[in-house]
Amino acid sequence: MKQSLRIISGMLEGLAFLHEAQGNKFTVVHRDIKSKNILLKAVESVNDGEVALTACIADFGLAAVFSSPQIDDQVMGQVGTFRYMSPEVLEGATEFTVPAFQRIDVYAMALVMWEVLSRTALSDHDEVPPYKQPFEDVTSMYPSLGEMRDVVVSRKLRPQFRPEITKHPVGCLFLSLGEFSNFNVDGFVRPCYCRNSSHSVSDTVVARTSATTVSDTEWDELCWQTLGGERRYNNGLRAPA
């Protein structure tokens, strides 16, 4: 679980950095977030010699840069990987605003987070299921646009977390972050791929939720009891260097 949180934290912080305009840096939307575009690097901790995996976002071939709120022709059309397309993209009903395009990235990132958590071993005796892509149980190996539209828009299906994750102390806490949303869900990953994109949780909020929603004492106690005695992560979900 610790390794998975470290990976997810890196992905979220990377997306938050892309989406946030600061100084001379413009807002960037990736438009093709998927697990194949998340690279992992092994880094040895200077504290305990443990090898940790850090994540970064790659492949900006479809990315768009917004230097102003004005949307231009570079972002028109349905681009990306069908399996990771949000409901509004599959419907061809995207709002042409910067926040709308950011939410499309957030939806795809939530699917990648589901992939990470679905393969997270919670103990030495925890048997994780074989890897599956999002919606693999209900689609062909290479689904068409129409097939994904039927699954995601018409049938409103979403990947489900295995019970072992939702019942795990840290997993439960992780999935419960973000209950500040305007609709009744039990985790911020679920709002990220909610049907109504206007209610999607922004990546910046998600990346910082653990620091603002969970008290230091609560997070410290959970990590101390569940992660083998390691103290609270710095900056929310970020693991010690």
Enumerate the active-site residues.
32
Which residues does 115 contact at the CB level (< 8 Å), separation at least 6?
Answer: 35, 131, 133, 134
Q: Which residues of 27-46 are buried (b: 16+ CB within 10 A; e: fewer)?
A: bbbbbbbbbebbeeeeeeee
- Which distant-in-sequence residues (6+ apart) come within 8 Å of 132 by Cβ? 118
What's 43-85 look like in SS3?
A: EECCCCCCEEEEEEECCCCCCEEECCCCCCHHHCCCCCCHHHC
The number of angstroms, rounded, from the C-alpha of 119 to the middle of its chain's C-alpha atoms is: 14
Residue 170, Cβ neighbours under 10 Å: how many? 19
Q: CB–CB of 179/113 below 8 Å?
A: no
Cα separation of 192 and 54, whole Å? 22
Residue 120, Cβ neighbours under 10 Å: how many?
Answer: 22
